Amino acid sequence: MHSTCKVTREMYYEFIFDKQVEKLLEAKLAQESAIGQAAFTRQLLELRNRIADIPDNRAVQIPFLIVVPTSVVPINRQMELLCSEDQRGSSLLDDGGLINQGVETNIQGLYLAVYVDDGALASAFATYDYGRTAAKNGRHSLTVEEGIAHIRHSWSILQNGALNLLGTRYLRRGQVPFLALGTQGPILDAMDEKSMGVTTSFNPSCADRLFNKPHDLT
């Protein structure tokens, strides 16, 4: 008699979480982190417990992403550690000019971006209005760190077009960062917000963010 095993939501979410952890560790982000490898690992373990707080939603492709904020590993270094086969990430921006729009994203610890979508097609929607529209719908435009997590989880996502990261601003040039696929791999750059619909690009967002408790951040 064949036995059957029903895959529960909890099992599925734990599987997704563990696969994302594998990619983080393969990229050696724990060793690169400002908080140290032990604290990085402890935060992952604590964060794994938080996936039980995510309600079921079968309408989304990505229920959550593990996000590494720039305070833990700088953006430029995260881009350099993005690699797959013969492709490797790079950034054309200075970390010091990247400022996240949401105060809650300027944090010290790992967190989850919950219910991530690929976003509206920029050419079909005025990009500079999308952030406000997303907010009215209870969603948050992705930051640069969240965009990097998106690529780390779904490497092929940039084959469909660039990701406009409206949750961050590049204040050195008064522009919005985006991630696009270059000849050598993913590239982080920025452009004027009103010009983002010229080429094929998307405005990804998430429904919520789940953080570790303050005492778990060091």
Domain ranges of the chain: 9-216
Half-sphere exposure of 24 (CA within 13 A, CB side): 25
Q: Determine contact, residues 168/144, Cβ cutoff 8 Å.
A: yes
DSSP state of 18: H
Distances 126 to 28, 118, 145, 164, 202 between C-alpha atoms, Å: 38, 16, 23, 12, 11
Q: Determine contact, residues 40/28, Cβ cutoff 8 Å.
A: no
Q: Is 202 exposed, middle or buried (0-12, 13-18, 19+ CB in 10 A)?
A: buried
Who contacts 23 (Cβ-Cβ below 8 Å, separation ≥6)?
Answer: 152, 153
Give the per-residue pLDDT at 165: 95
CA 142 – CA 147 distance, rounded (Å) = 6
Give the per-residue pLDDT at 90: 97
Q: What is the pLDDT of residues 131-170, one digit of tens each?
A: 777 888 889 999 999 999 999 999 999 999 999 999 999 9
Distances 214 to 18, 31, 77, 111, 217 between C-alpha atoms, Å: 23, 22, 25, 12, 6
Handedness of CA 97, 141, 128, 121 (dihedral sign): positive
CA 123 – CA 200 distance, rounded (Å) = 7
Give the per-residue pLDDT at 215: 45
Give the per-residue pLDDT at 216: 47
Give the per-residue pLDDT at 169: 94
78: left (phi over 0), alpha (psi -120 to 50) or beta: alpha
Give the per-residue pLDDT at 41: 95
Give the per-residue pLDDT at 122: 81
Give the per-residue pLDDT at 159: 92
Give the per-residue pLDDT at 214: 59
Give the per-residue pLDDT at 56: 79
Which parts of the chain register pLDDT below 70?
1-7, 58, 60, 103-108, 124-128, 214-218
Task: State which amino acid sits at residue 84.
Answer: S
Give the per-residue pLDDT at 167: 93
